[in-house]
Amino acid sequence: MADADAERASDQEARRLRAATALAGAWKDADDPRLSRLTRLAARLFDAPRAALMLIEPGRIRLAGRIGRQADQIPRDTPLADLVLRCSRSAQHADVSGAAFFACAPLRDPRGLVVGVLAVEDDRPRASVEPGQLETLGELADLAIEELIRGADQARAAAERLLDGERLALALGAARLGEFEWNVKTDRLRVSERMARISGIPAGEMPAQEGKAVWPYVHPEDRETTRDDLRAQLRETGRYEVEYRRAQGGDGHEQWSRGCGVMVLDDEGQPDLLIGVVQDITDQREADERRDNLVAELDHRIKNILAVVQSVAAQSARKSSSLDAFLKTFAARLKSMSSAHDLISAARWRGATLGRIAAAELGGLAPNQTRWDGPELFLTPRAAAALSLALHELAVNAVKYGSLSTETGRVEIVWRRSPDGGFSLEWLETGGPLTSEPATRGFGATLVEDVVGRELGGEAKIDYRRSGVTAMIHAAPSALADAPEPEPAPAEPERIVETIGGGDESFRAGAIAGLKVLIVEDSLLLAMELEAGLEDSGVEVVGCAAELGEALSMLEQAFDAAVLDADLNGQSVAPVAEVLRKEGRPFVFATGYADKAAPMGFDAPIVRKPYNVHQIARALASVTGRG
């Protein structure tokens, strides 16, 4: 029983200390006038020279609102401290720590915990005090605890506001935002340091000039439309959101801002304050522009690829003496174009040498009609992507209309370092049909001369000479990068079935006759072509699945092997491959990804697209033991 009582007392004391410390800690100034006023009233009540609020803290009694006392604390191991700790009601005491007269009233928090006392002291002894005085001392103590609690709440609120301000500053900085305030009635504009860094408007307060002070910092071409739009939005909703270009600085670089604000009205409904933020959206605008250019380029390049394939097919057909010869030549050229595409993808993301970019764009089109020469220069990823686009556009134009549209034409590319540390590249077409400048400037020319010139930090110019198209591309030093350390070439997997021609002459199509095969391919045309080709080789196709769920349901059928497209409309074919591996049924991957490693780590042959039936058949023969 005694242990339980001791535990309860210890818990009570711990709760009291926490409550008292929270109150006392919020009052940094022990002699705050709000507290001294109450202790002064207590001293006058008893005509005593000394008074104080004695607040309990761990290890001491802290004195606040002191009247007539020099010390600001009392040690806990004194009789006076013991009296404070034991005080539970208003009372009078004698001979306490040298004071002949001592009266106190407890300070109780909202939960009833005594966190200190309001005390008065006198060196003169007194026989007794009037009952009403002790009652009034208690009322003053109640007022004191209310003031202590109110002050603690205000201190916490101020600290929270300070934290909110820090959080807001962090958020504004991270979002690249700056704030402003326009007092409409005094016509004063206040601009923060953050907004000054974004907008160029000086930080601090200045005359708003009825709002005209900010317009010189907006691009001249955007001022009128932005001003009209902003005013119209404020009239309609009391808020606005506008995007505009800022006045250009010395570097001529185009800068964009987004401004948002709200008009605060006074009690009579008249404009009082316009508060708002300005955000630097230059990077976002540039990203949007790059995205739009990429979308336009994707659409343009797809059409170009189709045109190039059509041209390659026509040229291959003209020079082929038989259908078999045409198929072999055409398949080989498609494979070369696919390999070039892999190199371009690598150049876009990791950088590349200029020679590799030239080889990627020209090597697969007309190997005997193209030549490139120059020092080994390593381009940044951004410059490599831009230059590959430029050479692609020039090459496509040459295939469609220029030197590569005939068997006698030639294209040469020569590049050299420039004195300024960049490089210059010349594109020269000869031996083709006579050329003339087109009546309208197409997207390809815009891409080469405008976009590429900007991305390379230089300029590009196409010249349509009668003897053939020439182009000059100048790049800034920033387009070049230090070549990375050469990486050891990874070992080629042994089970890659490359599409290098019309097929392996040593392979007998009849070797896979009688096999039952499941085809999993999301492209209907590819699946139909593969099914027809395999059936011509004597294979029984048990089914064609285009979706993952459909493929999993077909695994219950009986078949000898499967051909799996690695990606099914954005879903991995791994679940199908995993089931087949567990059941010990062989399969072959068909994939358009450039990575030559087996998809998802499965040990299976890989046929890279574009493929033909001969490659698939050879892979099936290999996994079924017939190759």
pLDDT at 457: 87
Work out how many domains the chain is built from and give that number: 4
Question: What pLDDT, on a 0 to 100 scale, did the predictor assign at position 342?
Answer: 64
Which of 121, 155, 189 is where one domain is finished? Answer: 155
The DSSP secondary structure of 535-547, one letter per residue, reads: HHTT-EEEEEE-S
Confidence tier at 520 by pLDDT (50, 70, 90)? very high
pLDDT at 62 over 90: no
- What pLDDT does 306 receive? 73
pLDDT at 571 over 90: no
Mean pLDDT of the chain: 81
Classify residue 147: in a domain, yes or no.
Answer: yes
Task: Tell which wins on pLDDT, 182 or 60.
Answer: 182
Lowest mean pLDDT among 247-251, 290-294, 351-355, 616-620: 247-251
Both 114 and 197 in one domain: the answer is no
The answer to whether 187 touches 208, Cβ cutoff 8 Å, is yes
0.85 cut: is pTM over it? no
pLDDT for the residue numbered 8:
62
Domain extent, residue 62, equals 10-155
**Are 453 and 326 within one domain?**
yes
Q: Are residues 456 and 517 in the same domain?
A: no
CATH of the domain at 262: 3.30.450.20
Does residue 17 fall inside a structural domain? yes
Q: Are residues 198 and 231 in the same domain?
A: yes
Same structural domain for residues 147 and 203? no
Same domain? For 272 and 296 the reply is no
Give the 3-state secondary structure of residue 3. Answer: helix
**pLDDT band (50, 70, 90) for residue 610:** confident
To the nearest 5 percent, what fractions of the chain are helix, strand and coil?
45, 25, 30
Domain contains 168: no
487 occurs within a structural domain: no
Report pLDDT for 27: 66
Does the structure show a pLDDT above 70 at 161?
yes
For residue 488, is it within any domain? no
- 360: domain CATH number? 3.30.565.10
What's the CA gap between 17 and 56, in Å, rounded?
A: 7
Q: Answer yes or no: do 121 and 207 share one domain.
A: no
Give tens-digit pLDDT for 532-542. 889 988 999 99
For 537, counting Cβ atoms within 10 Å of its Cβ (0-12 exposed, 13-18 middle, 19+ buried), the class is buried
pLDDT band at 588 (very low <50, low <70, confident <90, very high): very high
The CA distance from 357 to 420, in Å, is 22
pLDDT of residue 419: 92
Average pLDDT estimate for 141-155? 86
Percentage above 70 pLDDT, the chain:
81
Q: Is the per-residue pLDDT at 320 higher than 80?
A: no
Give the integer Cα–Cα distance in Å for 87 and 89.
6
Please check whether residue 538 is in contact with residue 514, taking contact to mean a CB–CB distance below 8 angstroms.
Answer: yes
Choice between 390 and 187, residue whose per-residue pLDDT is larger: 187
CATH code of residue 61:
3.30.450.40
More confident residue, 303 or 54: 54
Least confident range from 39-53, 217-231, 248-262, 276-290: namely: 248-262
Q: How confident is the model at residue 501 (pLDDT cuts 50, 70, 90)?
A: very low
Q: Are 441 and 507 in a shared domain?
A: no
Q: Tell whether 303 and 273 lie within a shared domain.
A: no
In this predicted structure, the answer to whether residue 341 has a pLDDT above a threshold of 70 is: no
Q: Is residue 162, in this structure, part of any structural domain at all?
A: no
Picking from 27-41, 397-411, 492-506, 555-569, which range would have the lowest pLDDT averaged per residue?
492-506
Determine the pLDDT at residue 364: 67
The phi and psi torsions of 281 (rounded to 5 degrees) equal: -115, 25
- Give the pLDDT confidence of 347-366 residue by residue, as tens digits: 445 567 888 888 878 876 77
Same domain for 456 and 526? Answer: no
User: Per-residue pLDDT for 505 more than 60?
Assistant: no
The rounded percent of the chain whose pLDDT value lies above 90 is: 28
| pLDDT value of residue 504 | 46
Q: Which residues contact 389 (CB under 8 A, 6 or more apart)?
A: 297, 447, 448, 451, 452
Question: Does position 559 have pLDDT exceeding 90, yes or no?
Answer: yes
Q: Which has the closest alpha carbon to 460: 391, 550, 542? A: 391
* CATH number for the domain that contains residue 619: 3.40.50.2300
pLDDT at 29 over 80: no
Taking residues 228-246, report their average pLDDT: 93
pLDDT, tens digit, 9 for 90 and up, residues 410-434:
999 999 999 999 999 999 999 999 8
- Kindly state the average pLDDT of the residues 320-341: 66
Q: Are residues 122 and 18 in the same domain?
A: yes
Distance CA 170, CA 190 (A): 20
431-485 confidence digits (pLDDT tens): 999 888 887 777 667 777 876 777 888 888 999 998 999 999 999 999 898 876 6
Residue 166 domain-assigned (yes or no): no
Q: Compute the average pLDDT of residues 279-283.
A: 88
Confidence at residue 308, expressed as pLDDT on a 0 to 100 scale: 60
* Segment 121-140 mean pLDDT: 87
Same domain, 316 and 455: yes
Helix (H, G, I), strand (E, B) or coil at 548: helix
Task: Name the nearest CA neighbour of 208 among 234, 182, 230.
Answer: 182
* 4 within domain boundaries: no
Q: Measuring CA to CA, which residue among 553, 600, 562 is closest to residue 580? A: 562
| 175, pLDDT greater than 80 | no
